[in-house]
Amino acid sequence: MSPDEARLKIEQLRKALHHHNYLYYIKDQPEISDYDFDQKLEALQKLEAEFPQFEDPNSPSRRVGGGITKDFPTLKHKYPMLSLSNTYSREELEDYLKRTQKALPDEELEFICELKYDGAAISIRYQNGSLSQALTRGDGSQGDEITNNIKTIPSVPLHLRGSDYPAEFEIRGEVFMPLAGFAELNQRRLQEGLEPFANPRNSASGSLKMQDSALVAERPLDCFLYFVMQEEPLFSNHYDAVMAAGEWGFKIPRPEQNYLRKAKSIDEIFDFINHWDQARHELPFEIDGIVIKVNDYRQQERLGATAKSPRWAIAYKFKAEQQETILRNVSYQVGRTGAITPVANLEPVSLAGTTVKRASLHNADQIAKLDLREGDTVYVEKGGEIIPKVVGVNFAKRALNAPEFEYIKHCPECGSKLIRLEGEALHYCPNDTACPPQVSGRIQHFISRKAMDIEGMGSETVEQFVQADLIQNVADLYDLQVEQLLPLERMAEKSAQNIVEGIAASKEIPFERVLFGLGIRYVGETVAKKLARHFETINALQAASKEELVAVDEIGERIAESVVAYFADTAHQNLIERLQAAGLQFEVVKQEGGSQTLAGLSIVISGNFERFGRKEIKDLIELHGGKNTGSVSGKTSLIVAGEGMGPSKRKKAEDLGVKIIGEEEFAQMIGL
């Protein structure tokens, strides 16, 4: 394919992918399957790698992330991002409307009512229809520049539709995490031995500040954009500007969804408020109130702002729904990693549209802070949380002889004495080899899709095998025979054969997924991949000291301590030996033609090249033992530079004394 042909094909693929992305995420009207979309994206990525001269910072391929940002520069907002004043009652809102009308006597006021999304405020700049910069709210006058992370959010357009948008403008909105995605994310964290996130709002905000944009791309983030800002507005009012933004390709709050409504009186405003105070629990995302804005831009300008808040808008905050009920008792759940979670068992109570019988108590410290006693009348709340929580006690209703609460000292499942690690809030059962929930949980994690992906097995199958005393750890799986499974209930010969064959096939799963499947605390998919590629064999990893582990990029002390402790355990050592004997992959398989020429080197590539594509150079770096990094730092070993290397990157490299080489010198280094 000639460069001209490639350029045309790349442009066609980018246009098609932008279009299908818009149909899927904005219009909810997909025209092609996920498979067909992925095929187009893969074709684009291959062409972009082969023809880097046609690079586009807003290509659909950038959705997957991959850049590393060590520091987020703080930049000044062109227009301040002010906070809204809050109100909590009809009377307070009526006072606000009276003040507003008094400031604009004899003028008719029209208001726009919108949902108040519970996420992270964001401001995005577009130039000539392309996304150029994204900032967090920060302190209102300046925010952190997180452009690469924002580009990974599918509902944020990289290129706008049509042609009637301003040449340059900002649009503001809210990044949030849908409830379903939040629940799935927390489930993954629990499987990896990590503490779950507290609520979707914090999860969204924290995701935007992650250093690796590839990890941000894995987070289920979404975004509503609803406030257009420019020097000379194209429209006379807020409503028309929002509707136009929807035509330009933005995901906006639409009137037909009742996410946005015009109103001219307190009664009309409260119709909207009262509706969503009840219906908000049916939404797929969290809201914490309603925003009321003066619609007319000219009136907004005349009303002005205080140092902190605009006078033309106000937020009506919902009260977190709270109910009183009786705490029957406290039970304890044991997770896969041995973490003990206390749960309040309650007299059933209706809360946020559901019947609540159980609520989270988090940990022993939270119980002590509440001064909780069994039999107490407690306040249960479901605000920004998915799981209801106990937030207080009605001490006036406490029985005089109510005994003080004692947190358990032994595991409720196996009786082992609990431990609490320094600096951690949770208690743990240390009996990871015989505690039933830990045994089943670890095996379920091991067979999961992202680990060993054993066909024919699921959580129910694992429970059945454990109860039948056929397996007590993951190594036992590789000793199973068809004849052992046939006596089990609902186990036909074909099913048994499929399971045994699925277990045998898992022996081909690569080392990094085997390592993830072991379920070492804090070692998720990404950490497992980093450790596998760095140490290359399980024996080298087992022998690694805490200091050697911390020396691996992005491996902190907590992860290092967990890995060292895992491999120091005799039971774990025996388990690894059995898995090795069974034939599992415990070393990185070197690709043909590879070497360790670049081992230990962190390499940045920059610019365009004649002999190699950018992706080809990255693959060669990994093939010969090196590590690709996205930005220049004191840890950078060398830079492979082509034509068009950025001057700021070159200056930083020179200031740090980082060696810069061309592609021919790079080729000589690896013997090409």
Query: pLDDT tens, 225-254?
Result: 999 998 888 899 999 999 999 999 999 999
- The reply to whether 196 and 135 lie within a common domain is yes
Q: Which of 244, 267, 259 has the alpha carbon at shortest distance from 114?
A: 259
Distance from C-alpha of 435 to C-alpha of 420, rounded to nearest angstrom: 17
Beta partners for residue 114, in sequence order: 260, 291
- In the predicted model, is pLDDT for residue 198 greater than 90? no
- Is the same domain home to 303 and 228? yes
Q: Is the pLDDT confidence value at 383 over 60?
A: no
Residues 546-564, mean pLDDT to the nearest whole number: 89
pLDDT digits (tens, 9 = 90+) for 444-484: 999 998 899 998 898 889 999 998 999 999 999 999 999 99
282 and 207 belong to one structural domain: yes
The CATH number covering residue 557 comes to 1.10.150.20
Q: Region 541-551: what's the mean pLDDT?
A: 94
pLDDT bin (cut points 50, 70, 90) of residue 352 is: low
Q: Are residues 393 and 475 in the same domain?
A: no
C-alpha pair distances (Å), 312 with each of 35, 101, 172, 232, 273: 47, 11, 17, 19, 18
Q: Is residue 430 part of a domain?
A: no
Q: Residue 353's pLDDT band (boundaries 50, 70, 90)? A: low
Does residue 574 register a pLDDT over 60? yes
Extract the tokens encoding 272: 């909207």
Residue 214 pLDDT level (bands cut at 50, 70, 90): confident
CB < 8 Å & 24+ apart, contacts of 74-77: 74/138, 74/142, 74/143, 74/144, 74/145, 75/133, 75/135, 75/142, 75/143, 75/144, 75/145, 76/141, 76/142, 77/123, 77/135, 77/138, 77/140, 77/141, 77/142, 77/143
The confidence band for 355, taking pLDDT boundaries of 50, 70 and 90, is confident
Tell me the pLDDT band of 593, cut-offs 50, 70 and 90: low
Selection from 466, 454, 446, 430 nearest residue 576 by Cα: 446
The whole model's pTM is what?
0.57
pLDDT digits (tens, 9 = 90+) for 97-145: 999 999 999 899 999 999 999 999 999 999 999 999 999 998 888 899 9
Shared domain check, 474 and 374: no
Q: Could you tell me the residue range of the domain that residue 635 belongs to?
A: 602-669
Given a cut of 80, whether residue 499 has pLDDT beyond it is yes
Would you say 418 and 410 are in contact if contact means Cβ atoms under 8 Å apart?
A: yes
pLDDT, tens only, 21-38: 888 878 778 888 777 887
As a whole number, mean pLDDT of residues 253-274 equals: 95
Q: Residue 88 belongs to a domain with what CATH number?
A: 3.30.470.30
Domain boundary among 274, 293, 317: 317
Asked whether residue 277 is domain-assigned, the answer is yes
Looking at the fold, whether 133 and 255 belong to one and the same domain comes out as: yes
Instruction: Tell me if 11 is assigned to some domain.
Output: yes
The torsion region of residue 205 among left (phi > 0), alpha (psi -120 to 50) and beta comes to alpha
From the number of C-beta atoms within 10 Å of its C-beta (0-12, 13-18, 19+), residue 450 rates as middle
pLDDT at 655: 81
**Residue 406, domain member (yes or no):** no
The verdict on whether 116 is a catalytic residue reads yes
Residues 138 and 231 placed together within one structural domain of the fold: yes
Over the stretch 518-539, which tens digit does the pLDDT of each residue have?
Answer: 999 889 887 898 899 889 999 9
Residue 375 tokens, joined? 């039999």
User: Exposure pattern of 328-343 as b/e (b: 16+ CB <10 Å)?
Assistant: eebebebbbbbbbbbb
- pLDDT level of residue 408 (50, 70, 90 thresholds): very high
pLDDT tier for residue 377 given thresholds of 50, 70 and 90? very high
Give the angle subtended at the CA of 381 by the CAs of 351 and 334, to the nearest 5°: 100
177 and 130 in contact (C-beta within 8 Å)?
A: no
Residue 76: inside a domain: no
State residue 591's pLDDT score.
63
635 lies in some domain: yes
**CATH for 379:** 2.40.50.140
Q: Band of the pLDDT at 578, cuts 50, 70, 90?
A: very high
Q: pLDDT category, 504, cuts 50, 70, 90? A: very high
Q: Are residues 366 and 383 in the same domain?
A: yes
Where is the domain boundary, 582, 611, 634?
582
Q: Classify residue 403 as exposed, middle or buried by CB count within 10 Å of its CB (0-12, 13-18, 19+).
A: exposed
Judge if 199 and 275 occupy the same domain.
Answer: yes
Q: Of residues 78, 98, 116, 651, which has the active-site annotation?
A: 116
- Domain harbouring 26, CATH code: 1.10.287.610
Q: Classify residue 525 as exposed, middle or buried by CB count within 10 Å of its CB (0-12, 13-18, 19+).
A: middle
Q: What is the mean pLDDT of residues 366-392?
A: 84
Confidence at residue 221, expressed as pLDDT on a 0 to 100 scale: 95
pLDDT confidence band for 410 (50 / 70 / 90): very high
The number of domains in the chain is 6
Dist. CA 207–CA 218, nearest whole Å: 10
Average pLDDT over residues 623-634: 77
For residue 443, what are its two tokens?
A: 């095996």
* Residue 382 shares a structural domain with residue 248: no
Assign 312 a pLDDT band (cuts: 50, 70, 90): very high
pLDDT score, position 616: 83
612: CATH: 3.40.50.10190
pLDDT tens-digit readout, 58-105: 888 878 765 666 678 889 998 889 889 989 889 999 999 999 999 999
Domain for residue 515, yes or no?
A: yes
Comparing C-alpha atoms, which of 384, 356, 353, 381 is closest to residue 279? 353
Calculate what percentage of the chain has a pLDDT beyond 70.
Answer: 96
384, pLDDT greater than 70: no
Q: Are 520 and 662 contained in the same domain? A: no
Looking at residue 498, what is its pLDDT? Answer: 92
Count the neighbouring beta carbons within 10 Å of the beta carbon of residue 648: 9
Asked if pLDDT for residue 385 goes beyond 60, the answer is no
Task: Please identify, among 459, 486, 508, the residue that sits at the C-terminal boundary of a domain.
Answer: 508
pLDDT computed for residue 530 by the predictor:
86
Residue 410 lies in a domain: no
> Does 173 lie in the same domain as 86?
yes
